[in-house]
Chains A and B, each alone.
Chain A
Amino acid sequence: MGTGLNPSYFIGLSAALFAIGMYGALSKKNIISVLISIELMLCAVNINLVAFNKFLTPDAFLGQIFAIFIITVAAAEVGLGLALIIAISRRRETNNLDDLDWLRW
């Protein structure tokens, strides 16, 4: 294994992606964009996991298997999240996060 690319590069990338996702998740008004940003964050996590897999446990495949589970969970999460948004927007004429301050609908 060469020394050209070490995990730091990937972790740096993943951190940047995570930060961007975090920024999006916090600063967006539209719920869907918040969801998208969360996807970005999950993606960042995946990069991390796969990087660890490659550099730390290449034969145990822990990282990759975890990544697969995360992808599964993310898919389920997006599906449910979007369904929720659709359900909400059906009742309230909004998809602006700040307007969703009621507890009951």
Chain B
Amino acid sequence: MEITGGDNNSCDQQPNEEMIDETTKRLKRLGAEPAVIGEVTRVVSVGPLEKILNLGRANSFWPLGFGLACCAIEGLMTSNTARFDLSRFGYEVMRASPRQADLMLVCGTVTKKAAPFVVRLYEQMPDPKYVIAMGSCAISGGPFVDSYNVVPGVDQLIPVDVYLPGCPPRPDATIHAFMKLKEKILNLEVVKK
């Protein structure tokens, strides 16, 4: 017997240019082009006002109740339960419809079959919207990075604000990610550093 395929001896797994190109092409065939990020315009845009609004936004993320894999159990379910209680920060209002959600918690493996709807859901969310890539899978494809059906990182498809490594990250870590995102919204400078 001889082993064929799945040769994974190359140590280099970060998706290089070629891999990304290949992925994009394949995704396109599946109808999942990366999200189009339209230009965000405002009718009224005043600095101080925007600050107040940001205060509101940062204190009330309504996540899209949308779990992909293992991480969803920790990120979406357990972090809402009695011990961790995301609701202390007011982040517990899971919305089933993307129209009312502010935050997409990508928790789990994004497969190529799932990619089109992830993009679609993201685009259907109203501005301003945020994305947390939770777990190795969402960040980079994680354990399944060399699989034929896994998108190597959801940032290939949609812009990600905060990355939360772990497999799966603890629920506390999820809360930490939320707080990091809050920091980011309140103070963009923090991020640039």
A and B in direct contact, judged by CB atoms within 8 A: no
Residues of A within 8 A of B (CB): none
B residues engaging A (CB < 8 A)?
Answer: none
